[in-house]
Structure 1
Amino acid sequence: APWGIKVSIVEIKEVELPEAMKRSMAAQAEAERVRRAKIIHAEGEMQASQKLAQAGKVIAQEPVSLQLRYLQTMTEIASEHSNTIIFPVPIDLISMFMDKGKGMTNPKTEKDTKE
């Protein structure tokens, strides 16, 4: 019969890692956390941009929805306790005045150029 030693189990009670190894492992774990946080943030930005694009399409199809959003914004602004009042003016209204202003000339400028 063969003779010798048979090892049936090995148990490690305590492992002491060098400080450099601990710092290296901590830095790697931190880098992994930062990487995951950036990925989650980027995915959130992507989802938000997709939802904004969808909302833009809905608003473009239904002009009334833009007016409702405008009124909702006014309600939110009014509920804030502030001394500043912001009154958003629709772009359509501004462009109407800009178009009318292009055809008009300043009378003073016209008079000055004739003299």
Structure 2
Amino acid sequence: MVRRSLRTKLAALGATGVMALGTGVLAASPAEAAVACPYEYFCAYPQPGYGGTPIMVRNCNDVRYVPWTGGNGSWINNQTPGTRARFVLTGERPDAYTYGAYSAVAGGVDWNSVLYIDPC
């Protein structure tokens, strides 16, 4: 299932750096989400398709530094329904937000643009 693009949603919020979040939102089945990212967690992956060792964050304001460089990561937002994660971006750009849970981006996330992740 493909939802309205992040580019469209963030443009409506006046945000920039859309490529930091990915190029599309993909919904995985609940079984796939349980394996890749437990319920109530936001998970960021250094590789596309939810590959590599993830950063997994559950508690609000447990801000995590993003150590990866590269432009093709992924993420899963499997937090409680509607919760949005915040990406603190490099430079003077405003923060960017994910869709509310449950949502996922399988590839195209530019981790070079993201300094920190705040899950909610």
Larger radius of gyration: 1
The structure richer in strand per residue is 2
TM-score, normalisation: structure 2 = 0.19
Q: Which has the higher contact order (CA 8 A, sep 6+)?
A: 2
